[in-house]
């Protein structure tokens, strides 16, 4: 019996639960991808370019047998499934707000033609909504979620690959569009082989020092796996299995970071409106500024605070930013410039190659204080001391802010004189910190 395997955020052939389900059903399988404008249009150029590269890699692994169509998935998936006489459409379940609505509509449309909808697995080690408190309520604090998630555990990676099924050669397929012009922006190599290579390199050389180096933007201490996880070129279950024998601080820290990704997906599963709205409704009454010139300076890395400017320029140059610096620049936007978190979240999603709705929006809310946290208003990063602590020799700042390359050592974070072309501080942090605390106090009663 013929099946369709509709790829979405699972652009790989290894450790693929939906592929295994299609194989177990028997019969030939058509590999399908739908270019959906509702997802493509809001995506920035780096994300679109990386997606197209992952699709090219997947098509190559399938010997050119990936069928690509463009249009409304409700119409196109049904049309394609009927055209090959498919009895089922197999997918990895989508946990995002749009994906859930889309999949419900596709499943309903398929049912009208007696075609089964089979969702197996998800982009997460533990599917969102699976881990709950004993009373069935969702968690809103990470630490108890982490304990419950660890106790729950996850399946071993699925043993899958291209040879598992007989792939149909599509009779029609749209050529992938040309990737957007990225200028000088350099992205990581897309696709499953590159993902596995990067991951194995990290296991060989980076995991032992991950616990200490991951907060240092001046070092190559992070995994850089987030773009591959975003598009499913590797499954987190694969990574967790490789870490299962490691009890060192690095392996433990990385398991925790993978859990943060799953926690945010779980929060969005239970509260899909938080992709656009405050998790904590008290923050609907927060007093925000609306200074577009200040926002433009932040976007361009022209705030006069070196660590902030380095991070924003790294984003423009690489489509990626170090996680510690993401927190620093986000804190600066919402607590020094008093601008809405969703302005920053939208800018990040436009430029990040790893832009993920759940992780991006809820990390921004965590920094802003409107998300899943008990006392967020105390967490106001001082950009100068953050730079001195996590970029102690100033190497990260000098890498991305050429105006400061003549300033030696940690002095780059606390400039006595401004080199030519580098701006004065946009605001006074000590003053704006007090303003932020007053505004938080007004809505929290603290």
Annotated binding site for FAD: 210, 222-226, 354-356
The Cα 413–Cα 394 span in angstroms is 7
DSSP one-letter string for 265-320: HHHHHH-GGGGTS-SSGGGGG------HHHHHHHHHT-SS-HHHHHHHHHHHHHS-
The Cα 5–Cα 88 span in angstroms is: 9
Spatial distance between the Cα atoms of 253 and 219, rounded to a whole number of angstroms: 17
How far apart are alpha carbons 16 and 199 in whole angstroms?
Answer: 17
Q: Residue 373 and residue 440: Cα distance in Å, rounded?
A: 14
Q: Mark the binding-site residues, compressed into ranges.
A: 210, 222-226, 354-356
Q: Kind of pairing, strands 88-91 and 3-6?
A: parallel
Those residues with Cβ within 8 angstroms of residue 313's Cβ, 6 or more apart along the chain or in another chain: 301, 400, 401
Beta-bridge partners for 119: 91
The label of the residue with tokens 């992070």 reads: 222
Q: CA Rg, the chain, in Å?
A: 23
Q: Which long-range contacts (CB under 8 A, 24 or more apart) does 418-427 make?
A: 418/304, 422/304, 423/297, 423/302, 423/303, 423/304, 424/304, 425/303, 425/304, 425/305, 426/294, 426/297, 426/298, 426/302, 426/303, 426/304, 426/305, 426/336, 426/337, 427/294, 427/336, 427/337
E strand intervals along 176-250: none
Residue 429 is inside which H or E element, if any?
A: helix 429-444
Q: Are 332 and 305 in contact (CB under 8 A)?
A: yes
DSSP symbol at 335: I
């Amino acid at each position: 019996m013929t099946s369709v395997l509709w790829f979405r955020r699972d652009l790989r052939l290894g450790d693929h639960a939906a592929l295994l389900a299609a194989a177990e059903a028997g019969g030939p399988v058509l590999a399908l991808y739908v270019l959906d404008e509702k997802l493509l249009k809001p995506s920035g150029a780096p994300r679109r370019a990386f997606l197209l590269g992952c699709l090219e890699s997947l098509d190559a692994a399938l010997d050119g047998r990936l069928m690509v169509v463009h249009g409304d998935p409700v119409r196109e998936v049904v049309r394609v499934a009927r055209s090959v006489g498919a009895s089922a459409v197999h997918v990895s379940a989508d946990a995002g707000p749009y994906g859930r609505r889309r999949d419900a509509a596709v499943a309903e449309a398929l049912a009208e033609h007696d075609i089964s909808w089979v969702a197996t697995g998800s982009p997460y080690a533990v599917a969102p909504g699976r881990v709950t408190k004993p009373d069935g309520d969702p968690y809103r604090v990470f630490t108890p979620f982490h304990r419950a998630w660890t106790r729950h555990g996850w399946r071993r990676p699925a043993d899958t690959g291209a040879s598992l099924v007989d792939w149909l050669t599509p009779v029609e397929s749209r050529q992938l569009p040309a990737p957007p012009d990225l200028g000088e922006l350099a992205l990581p190599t897309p696709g499953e082989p590159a993902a596995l290579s990067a991951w194995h390199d990290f296991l060989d050389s980076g995991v032992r020092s991950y616990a200490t180096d991951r907060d240092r933007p001046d070092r190559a201490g992070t995994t850089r796996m987030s773009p591959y996880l975003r598009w499913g070129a590797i499954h987190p279950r694969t990574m967790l299995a490789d870490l299962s024998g490691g009890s060192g601080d690095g392996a433990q820290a990385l398991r925790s970071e993978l859990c943060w990704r799953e926690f945010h997906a779980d929060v969005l599963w239970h509260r899909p409106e938080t992709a656009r709205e405050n998790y904590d409704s008290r923050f609907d009454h927060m007093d925000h500024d609306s200074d577009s010139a200040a926002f433009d300076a932040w976007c361009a890395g022209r705030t006069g605070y070196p660590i902030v400017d380095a991070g924003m320029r790294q984003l423009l140059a690489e489509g990626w930013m170090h996680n510690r610096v993401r927190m620093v620049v986000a804190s600066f936007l919402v607590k020094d410039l008093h601008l809405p978190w969703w302005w920053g979240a939208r800018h990040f999603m436009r430029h990040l190659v790893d832009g993920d709705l759940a992780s991006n929006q809820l990390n921004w809310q965590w920094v802003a204080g409107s998300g899943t946290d008990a006392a967020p208003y105390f967490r106001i990063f001082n950009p100068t001391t953050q730079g001195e602590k996590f970029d102690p020799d100033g190497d990260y700042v000098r890498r991305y802010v050429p105006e400061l390359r003549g300033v030696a050592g940690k002095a780059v974070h606390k400039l006595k004189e401004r080199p030519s072309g580098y701006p004065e501080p946009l605001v006074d942090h000590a003053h704006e910190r007090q303003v932020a605390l007053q505004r938080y106090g007004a809505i929290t009663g603290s």
